[in-house]
Structure formats: structure tokens, C-alpha cells
């Protein structure tokens, strides 16, 4: 794990025994190790040192691991985050997926499982992820945080508006057909008129030039560099 040896790791765990045991292993395999006892301390250390990798428990005092990870994701899209938890609840798992985590390790933590998770991190350490899709000046949709920002203000999108916008972004530069919109955006059969109303409502929030109609086929999204 050559990249790991050159990287900094932030480890957050509120259990003293677990923290001591895992920390002794991590110190041997990375360049710098920062250790925190809760999410609030972890967030402060992240802002100060900007480590490449974070390993964190979920259930902790002051600020839990998922809330801390969410705050970190708003700062950095490329930091590698590994969650450790005794919980296998579906809600936790889905929250972890939405935060673009590398691994979700169920406790007790074994060194082989932790080593494999760190190996997964290696392939992403040098990548630069462009998560903002610009639709105009001072207007973009972040495909990771799923937020639409216009003039430095987060604009609320309905579930169907967000689904439609993400479909357009996924297909660009190719256009998106009416059939694809009906099948992937709606949970039931719909009409062309309903799709036109959806486009109208989304254009009102983006701009009138953001979505182009291709007569008889569908729509395209207009991105800017």
C-alpha cells in the first residue's frame, strides 16, 4: 500500500480500547495519523490537517459519524471516508451510500477488513472528481450533494424535478427521449403534456435556456464550461 504510506489518516472512535488497538496499527502504515474521540473533534482536526483518509465510528457523542461525514463532504468530495459501526440498519447503510463512502465495516473491526478498505482507498487517492455540473454563470447542480445552487443560494427541487435533471445530466451530451423520461422519471404512465409542465417548472428554477426541446424526440440539458 504505497499510497497509504504517503497519506494522512484521521481516525475517530469514542471507545478507548478500540481506538488504542486500531491506532497502533494505523500508525505503522501511514505517514501521519490524527486521532479524535468524537465527531466534533474529528471535524476540527479535518479542517486543520485535511487528511486524505477518514476512518470513523457512527455512534459518538457531540456529533455522530454520519453527520460529521456529511459536513466533510460539503468541504471535500475527494476525501476517502470509511465508516465503522456495530449497526447494520438499512437506514445507516443508505446514508453511507449517499455520502459516497468507500467502505462500511461492521464491528468488531478485523485488521484484514480494515486493510482491504484502505486498499480500496488507494485507487481513488489521485482522482479529481468534478461533481459540479454548471448550467450557467453562478448556477450548478452538485451530483454528490444533490443540491442545486444558483447565485450562492440552494434552490429547492421536488423529487421529480431532481430525478428529471439527473437523467438529463446522465445522458448529456446526448439528448433524452420522451420514452426515457416517462420510464425513468415517472413511477406511472404519463402524458407529453405532463412532461412539458415538468420542463416548464424546472426551467423556472434554472433558466429558460438551460433545457432545449428537440421536436418530436425529447430534451437536452445545456452545460457550460
Query: What's 74's domain CATH number?
Result: 3.40.50.2300
Cα–Cα distance for residue pair 141/208, rounded to 1 Å: 16
Cα–Cα distance for residue pair 24/108, rounded to 1 Å: 16
pLDDT at 53: 94
pLDDT tens string 75-109: 887 889 998 888 766 566 656 655 666 677 888 89
Q: pLDDT of the chain along its 225 residues, tens only?
A: 888 998 999 999 999 999 999 999 999 999 999 999 999 999 999 999 999 999 999 889 899 998 999 889 888 878 899 988 887 665 666 566 556 666 778 888 999 999 988 988 887 776 555 678 999 888 999 886 788 999 988 899 999 999 999 999 999 999 999 999 999 999 778 888 999 999 999 999 999 899 999 988 999 999 997
Domain-embedded: residue 150: yes
122, 155, 177: which is the final residue of a domain? 122
Cell numbers representing residue 6 in the block = 504517503
Are residues 47 and 8 both part of a single domain?
yes
Number of folded domains that form the chain: 2
85, 103, 122: which is the final residue of a domain? 122
Taking the whole predicted model, whether its pTM rises above 0.85 is answered as no
pLDDT at 207: 92
- How many other β-carbons are positioned within 10 Å of the β-carbon of residue 189? 8
Structural domain boundaries, residue 138: 132-221
Are residues 110 and 7 both part of a single domain?
yes
Maximum CA extent, the chain: 65
pLDDT at 93: 62
Which residue in 184, 166, 173 sits closest to 220, CA to CA?
173
Are residues 117 and 143 both part of a single domain?
no
Give every CB contact of residue 179 below 8 A, 6+ residues apart in sequence.
218
pLDDT at 206: 95
Cα–Cα distance for residue pair 11/181, rounded to 1 Å: 43
Amino acid at each position: 500500500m504505497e499510497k497509504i504510506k504517503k497519506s494522512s489518516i484521521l481516525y475517530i472512535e469514542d471507545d478507548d480500547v478500540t481506538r488504542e488497538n486500531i491506532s497502533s496499527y494505523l500508525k505503522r502504515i501511514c505517514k501521519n495519523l490524527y486521532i479524535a474521540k468524537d465527531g466534533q473533534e474529528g471535524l476540527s482536526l479535518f479542517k486543520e490537517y485535511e487528511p486524505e483518509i477518514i476512518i470513523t465510528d457512527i455512534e459518538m457523542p457531540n456529533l455522530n459519524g454520519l453527520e460529521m461525514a456529511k459536513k466533510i463532504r460539503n468541504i471535500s468530495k475527494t476525501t476517502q471516508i470509511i465508516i465503522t459501526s456495530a449497526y447494520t440498519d438499512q437506514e445507516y447503510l443508505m446514508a453511507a451510500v449517499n455520502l459516497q463512502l468507500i467502505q462500511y465495516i461492521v464491528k468488531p473491526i478485523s485488521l484484514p477488513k480494515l486493510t482491504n478498505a484502505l486498499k480500496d482507498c488507494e485507487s481513488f487517492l489521485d482522482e479529481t472528481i468534478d461533481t459540479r455540473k454548471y448550467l450557467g454563470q453562478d448556477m450548478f447542480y452538485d451530483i454528490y450533494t444533490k443540491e442545486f445552487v444558483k447565485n450562492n443560494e440552494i434552490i429547492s427541487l421536488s423529487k421529480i424535478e431532481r430525478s428529471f435533471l439527473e437523467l438529463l445530466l446522465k445522458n448529456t451530451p446526448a439528448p433524452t427521449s420522451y420514452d426515457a423520461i416517462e420510464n425513468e422519471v415517472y413511477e406511472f404512465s404519463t402524458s407529453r403534456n405532463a412532461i412539458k409542465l415538468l420542463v416548464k417548472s424546472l426551467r423556472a428554477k434554472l433558466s429558460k435556456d438551460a433545457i432545449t426541446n428537440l421536436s418530436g424526440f425529447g430534451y437536452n440539458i445545456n452545460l457550460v464550461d
